[in-house]
Structure 1
Amino acid sequence: MLAWGLGAPIWAQDSAVSAPGAVVRGLDKVNGHTVDANIPSGGSAELFGLLVTLSECRYPADNPTGDAYAFLTIRDPDSGAVQFEGWMIASSPALSALDHSRYDIWVLRCSNS
């Protein structure tokens, strides 16, 4: 039998460090255009007409360049409708992804600036 924590994913373990922000990438699937945004924790950025708000970004304490995961809320700024809310994992963006017909948004990494 495995002890709790040994088989748990990195985002479920306590060895994570919070970063002051995250780098997020947006993709327009129609024309292939991409844009990156450095978003501070608690801040927002508009990517292709969607408002992306970062609550927190974390990364493994023993590997600062390792896998980041961030809690994002993505809204339509006109209606305020939430398109996505939850944790996104940089190495597995499809695991918890924005479901939008034209745009993709995902976390690249945590940022320290």
Structure 2
Amino acid sequence: MSVAPAAAEPLEGDIVVLRALDKVTARTKDLFVPIDETAIFGSIAIRPRKCLKRPPEETPETSAFLEISEIHQGADNLTLFTGWMFASSPAINALEHPVYDVWVIDCRISEPVKPAGKE
């Protein structure tokens, strides 16, 4: 009987690194967005809710749960996308928009804060 090795728990990040593309102007921008904060790119608002990264000893994969909406002045924002995006397979669950594309690039994990005076 063979037993598969247990997979390590994914590491949870606190900053999502995204690349956004404006298809009309061909402008790209890398966005560093803290969890539960909102980044604006053109007329879309991007809010990451969770970011997971596999440990270094496993096959690389970064995934982020994103909420993306289109900003409308004087009206409610229109939800364009809610779900998980994967860095290794951006086409699996992609934002469907005629002007903008968004990809997950990385998940940044901050170093734990050490108490003052402790080395």
Residue 109 of structure 2 is aligned with which of 99, 107, 112?
112
Structure 2 equivalent of residue 10 of structure 1: none
Q: How does 1:16-55 map to 2 (within 5 A)?
A: 16-55=10-49
The runs of 4+ residues in structure 1 deviating greater than 2 Å are 61-66
The one-letter amino acid paired with 1:76 is E
What are the ranges of 5 or more consecutive residues in structure 2 without an aligned counterpart? 111-119
2:109 and 2:57 mapped to 1: Cα distance?
Answer: 14
Deviations 1:22-56 (A, max 9, x none): 10111011221101110011111001210000001
Residue 80 of structure 1 is aligned with which of 77, 80, 85?
77
User: CA shift at 1:63, angstroms?
Assistant: 4.4
From the two aligned structures, give the one with the greater helix fraction: 1
Change (3 A) 1:80 1:15: same
- Larger Rg, first or second structure (1 or 2): 2
User: CA shift at 1:75, angstroms?
Assistant: 0.5
Change (3 A) 1:81 1:50: same
Considering only aligned residues, what root-mean-square deviation do their CA atoms show, in Å? 2.5
What are the ranges of 5 or more consecutive residues in structure 1 without an aligned counterpart? 7-12
1:63 and 1:84 mapped to 2: Cα distance?
Answer: 31
1:43 and 1:51 mapped to 2: Cα distance?
Answer: 10
